[in-house]
Amino acid sequence: MKKIQMVDLQGQYDSIKDQINNSLQEIMNTSAFINGPEVQNFQKELEEYLGVKHVIPCANGTDALQIAMMGLGLKPGDEVITADFTFAATVEVIALLQLTPVLVDVDPETFNIDPEAIKKAITPKTKAIVPVHLFGQTADMNAIMEIAKAHDLYVIEDNAQAIGADFHSKEAKTYKTGTIGHVGSTSFFPSKNLGCYGDGGAIFTNDDDLAHTLRGVVNHGMYERYHHDVVGVNSRLDSFQAAVLRAKLPKLDIYNEARKAAAFRYNMALKDQEHIKTPVRSGDCDTHVFHQYTLKITNGKRDALVKHLNENNIPCGVYYPIPLHNQKAYKDARYNEADFPVTNQLVKEVISLPMHTELDTDQIDHITKTIIEFVNN
Ligand SMILES: *Cc1c(COP(=O)(O)O)cnc(C)c1O
């Protein structure tokens, strides 16, 4: 059996090696390092793939979130509601812009932001909701868009973990995640479902005016050369990364199918185990592209299982071990432990298994067998 890795990018590279190597060589031949044709073409190809009017490439997924919030004109003191159970980038940029993060609890089955908790957190100062499509599964966007409409709030989708997932709206329209709200963001960090070979990110929107604003914000607030109309940032996707992404984008659906197939095999082996809860799908309104395959271990043996798997050369991860409301940087007297029963429980129970496009059935079967033996002992 091949050595099991949490993320394995080698197989993908092998299958697109010539294209990537040739494109990188061409960039060096032409010195089009910044904003060259690779970046322009990638932008157009991603717009087409997502069915969205505007893609604005930028330097990483954290910048993408920050720039989205800057483009919407959010002001210090505005409250932004997001999930307590996610990667810190989301809350980080809210705080960095001196907006007020308002963390709320998540759904125990899907791990995504709980619409009822959003409703309870809305105040006259609330300006935006940031749902994160966690682990590759769409948040409850039907409910979230309805709440946003009723309260006149912006919806900024953090799509760093779910690029390529479909969402079917109540009106029977199909959208790619990240294009449902007012603006969406993603990350092309190497381990994401569409990853480059360094850092990269992008912002999506169907709003022409917002897109115009965002294109200025990413480029020093410049709309006309050396005229700085707003305070901006410097956040660029470089040509090398765009070239890698152009080679991978046509395969994104195939990559996501490989993830789903691995998840299906994990599910079949683990779904009837008494102390294990396999990932729950949120009904028929979405697809799950399994950025992570995350189990809940319900008999208190999660930490022991992590240790056991590591000792047996099976990598695994705990995403995320600490609720954001308990992180030193984001503690706030407004929060009450009783408001976060689900996140407080999830951080003790979740474990993510190896998930990538190169897992083979022998590896998956070895992983599930090792888990079942340990958890039942
Ligand atoms: C990875 C990730 C980000 C940040 O992306 P970077 O490109 O690493 O800045 C933001 N939000 C979520 C949910 C992520 O998983």
- The CATH number of whichever domain residue 353 belongs to comes to 3.90.1150.10
Say whether both 112 and 38 belong to one domain: yes
Say whether both 116 and 237 belong to one domain: yes
pLDDT digits (tens, 9 = 90+) for 152-203: 999 999 999 999 999 998 888 999 999 999 999 999 999 999 999 999 999 9
pTM: 0.97
Distance 337 CA to ligand 1 centre (A): 26
Q: Which pLDDT value is given to residue 285? A: 61
Distance 173 CA to ligand 1 centre (A): 27
The domain tally of the chain equals 2
Q: What is the mean pLDDT of the chain?
A: 96
Task: Give the position, in ligand 1's atom list, of the atom nearest the Cα of 65.
Answer: 10
Say whether both 47 and 178 belong to one domain: yes
Task: Give the position, in ligand 1's atom list, of the atom nearest the Cα of 201.
Answer: 7
Atom 2 of ligand 1: nearest residue by CA position: 160
Say whether both 121 and 13 belong to one domain: yes
Say whether both 159 and 294 belong to one domain: no
| C-beta 160 within 6 A of ligand 1 | yes
| C-beta 200 within 6 A of ligand 1 | no
Residue 1 lies in a domain: no
Say whether both 324 and 342 belong to one domain: yes
Distance 175 CA to ligand 1 centre (A): 21
Q: Which residue is catalytic, options 192, 277, 296, 301?
A: 192
Domain span at residue 309 reads 251-375
Is residue 192 annotated as part of the catalytic site, yes or no? yes
* Choice between 172 and 116, residue whose per-residue pLDDT is larger: 116
Last residue of a domain, one of 198, 227, 250: 250
User: In the predicted model, what is the mean pLDDT of residues 279-291?
Assistant: 82
* CB environment 218-237: b (16+ within 10 A), e (fewer): bbebbeeeeeeeeebbebbb
Residue 3 lies in a domain: no
Residue 298 lies in a domain: yes
Out of 187, 199, 233, 289, give the residue to mutate to test ligand 1, the one with the largest number of ligand atoms within 8 Å of its CB.
187
CA dist 299 and 153 (Å) reads 40
CA dist 145 and 67 (Å) reads 21
Q: What percentage of the chain reaches a pLDDT higher than 70? A: 99
Atom 5 of ligand 1: nearest residue by CA position: 61
Q: Per-residue DSSP letters for 134-170?
A: GGGB---HHHHHHHHHHHT-EEEEE-TT-TT-EEE-T
